[in-house]
Structures are given as C-alpha cells and as structure tokens.
Amino acid sequence: MAAYYIYLKKYPKVINQTVSLRLSLLFLSGGFLLLLLVAWPILTFEFLLAPKYSTNVVSPLSGEQVLGTQTDLTQASNWFPAVNQRTEQSKITSYILSIPKLGIKDAAVIIGSDDLSKSLIQWGGTGVPGDFGNTVIFGHSVLPTFFDPKNYMTIFSTLPTLKEKDEILIYFDGISYKYQIIEMKVVDPADISILEQKFDDSYLTLVTCVPPGTYWKRLAVRAKLVKI
C-alpha cells in the first residue's frame, strides 16, 4: 500500500500588528516625555520667569574666556577663572544657610572653598554675613525634576522660583540673620559685577546657573538684611 506524504513549509510567527503598533507608540511617547522633561524647565524659565528679572548684558570679560575654561562647574574657581578668590585668615570658615520656601534647611556654606558638590561656597573676599558689604554664595543646580535640598549637586535647582520679599536665613558665628530678597537678575556668565561690594548696608547674593540644567547664564538673587 503506497504512503502519501505532504510537506508543509512553516512560516515564522508574525507579531500581531496591533501589538507592534502599541509598542511603537509606547516608545514614541517615552521619547517625547523625556524630551519634554528636559525642555519644559528651560522654556518655562525663558518665557515665564526670565522676563520678570532685570538683566545685565555688560560683560567685563569676554564670554570665551569663561566658557572656554568651564570644564567642571562643580569647582567654584571655574565660574570666574580670571578672578581669584581671596584667602583670608578667620576663625569662622563655615556657617549655615536656610531658605524656608525651597525646603533648604541648615545647608553648609564654606568660605573660600572650591568644591560645590560638597557644600555651598562663599566666594573668598566677599562680605561677611551681618556686616556691611555683599556676601556672595554659589550653589550648583540641575533640572528641577532632580531637586533635592540635601544634595549640594542639586540644591539651587529651584532658585528661579523665588520672588522679591522671600526670606533667606543665615546662622553665622552664633547669630541668626534674616535677609529679604530685593532683586533677581540674569547676567552673562562672564559678568563679575555680581561680586562687587556695596557698603551702605548688609547684602547677600545667591548665584547659580540658568536656565535650569544649563550653564548659559547666571541667576543672581540679591537680598538685604532685615533689621530685627
């Protein structure tokens, strides 16, 4: 009795078109959300916050002098490479800063130091808190999404959300000082005018990079001592 055989070619299993479409949309949506995560803080700053600040486009140094050498912005000395911090002998080398509105509490400020990943830095040679002059403090920032008030790499990320009359608290040499914001301005990265001293009162200037997540410009938050 003859046997009959039929050979059928087996084709590879094809993924359901609906599943394939859903996966494509998922990856596309993920990419869009990632792009939005990065772009949204920058656009919000540029179009909603920055127009409210005063600006200073006068740059005593060229932008190339500064940006060309800023290979590591966690080092305060790279912010203004043409200007050296002054080292002064003092029994007080550190103190505490708090910004209640931002949830920043008891952040360490080191005078004349360099590593912004470990603390806030007071630029060496600027005024002492509570005295006549201008205390200039630098802090690192990243995208606001990653803001952590206890992490010095992200501590000033939400600084642009402050407004005039918001308070900044300083605890220096056993004395508490309260400063109130009087001005917020955006300056060129090479503009060293924010380091200038004015001796008619006690001032405090907080500085970080803006727009959030970039180092294109500098935000200077200027505050004045409130008499208690």
Dig out the tokens for 219 from the structure: 């935000």
Identify whether 8 is part of a domain.
Answer: no
Q: Is the peptide bond before 12 cis (omega within 30 degrees of 0)?
A: no
Q: What is the pLDDT of residues 32-91, one digit of tens each?
A: 566 556 666 666 666 666 676 766 543 333 333 334 444 587 888 888 777 888 876 678
Q: Is residue 2 part of a domain?
A: no
Question: Do the Cβ atoms of 210 and 216 come closer than 8 Å?
Answer: yes
In order of 16, 34, 131, 145, 181, the CA distances from 28 in angstroms are 19, 10, 56, 21, 43
Q: Reduced to 3 states, what is the DSSP secondary structure of residue 111? A: strand
Q: Mean of the pLDDT values across residues 217-225? A: 95
Identify the CA nearest to 168 among candidates 176, 160, 178, 153.
178
pLDDT confidence tier of residue 189, bands split at 50, 70 and 90:
confident
Q: Is residue 208 part of a domain?
A: yes
pLDDT single digits (tens) 73-88: 788 888 877 788 887 6
Q: Where are the alpha helices (DSSP H) in 45-154?
A: 63-67
Q: Report which residue type is found at 141.
A: S
Domain carrying residue 221? 31-225
> Tell me, what amino acid is at 213?
G
- Residue 22 falls inside a structural domain: no
Distance CA 71, CA 78 (A): 8
Cα(97)–Cα(56) distance, rounded to whole angstroms? 26
pLDDT above 70 coverage of the chain, percent: 68
Q: Which of 25-34, 59-68, 98-107 has the lowest mean pLDDT?
A: 59-68
CATH number at residue 83: 2.40.260.10
Label the pairing between strands 104-111 and 94-99. antiparallel
For the segment 178-184, the average pLDDT, to the nearest whole number, is 97
Does 13 fall in a domain?
A: no
Domain-embedded: residue 169: yes
CB atoms within 10 A of CB 145: 13
Residue 105 has pLDDT above 90, yes or no: yes
118 in any annotated domain: yes
- Can you give the pLDDT at residue 1? 58
Q: E-strand spans in 65-174?
A: 94-99, 104-111, 120-122, 133-138, 167-172
Give the whole-number percent of the chain exceeding pLDDT 90. 52
Phi and psi angles of residue 225, each rounded to the nearest 5 degrees, phi first: -60, 130
Please give the distance of CA 202 from its chain centroid, rounded to a whole number.
24
Of 14-18, 102-106, 111-115, 206-210, minimum mean pLDDT range = 14-18
Number of domains in the chain: 1
* pLDDT for the residue numbered 119: 97
Q: CB under 8 Å, gap of 24 or more: what pairs does 87-91 form?
A: 87/112, 87/124, 88/112, 88/124, 88/125
- 3, part of any domain: no
Given a cut of 70, is residue 25 above it in pLDDT?
no
Q: pTM, whole model, 2 decimals?
A: 0.78
